[in-house]
Amino acid sequence: MSDDKAIVERPEAAGDLDLQMVELFFFAYRDFIADADALLADYKFGRAHHRVLHFVNHHPGLAVAELLQILRITKQSLGPVLRQLVDAGLLAQREGAKDRRQRLLYPTQKGRNLSIKLTGMQSKRIRGALSPLSSRDRKAIEAFLMGMVETGERDLVKGLTERDE
- Average pLDDT for 101-109: 94
**What would the 3-class secondary structure string for the chain be?**
CCHHHCCCCCCCCCCCCCHHHHHHHHHHHHHHHHHHHHHHHHCCCCHHHHHHHHHHHHCCCEEHHHHHHHHCCCHHHHHHHHHHHHHCCCEEEEECCCCCCCEEEEECHHHHHHHHHHHHHHHHHHHHHHCCCCHHHHHHHHHHHHHHCCHHHHHHHHHHHCCCC
Residue 63 lies in a domain: yes
CA distance 116 to 58: 9
Residue 142 lies in a domain: no
**What is the per-residue pLDDT for 4?**
80
Residue 152 lies in a domain: no
pLDDT: which is higher, 99 or 42? 42
Please give the residue range of the domain that contains residue 36: 19-131
- Average pLDDT for 32-39: 96
**What is the per-residue pLDDT for 12?**
67
86 pLDDT more than 90: yes
AA letter at 86: V
Residue 3 lies in a domain: no
- Average pLDDT for 101-125: 96
**What is the per-residue pLDDT for 2?**
64
Residue 137 lies in a domain: no
pTM summary value? 0.86
Among 25, 28, 50, which residue's Cα sits nearest to residue 37? 50
Residue 116 lies in a domain: yes
Residue 103 lies in a domain: yes
Distances (CA, A) of 5 to 12, 47, 85, 88: 16, 35, 46, 49
Residue 33 lies in a domain: yes
Question: pLDDT confidence of 31, banded at 50, 70, 90?
Answer: very high
**What is the per-residue pLDDT for 7?**
82
pLDDT in tens, 36-79: 999 999 999 999 999 999 999 999 999 999 999 999 999 999 99
Total count of domains within the chain: 1
Q: What is the CATH number of the domain that holds 97?
A: 1.10.10.10
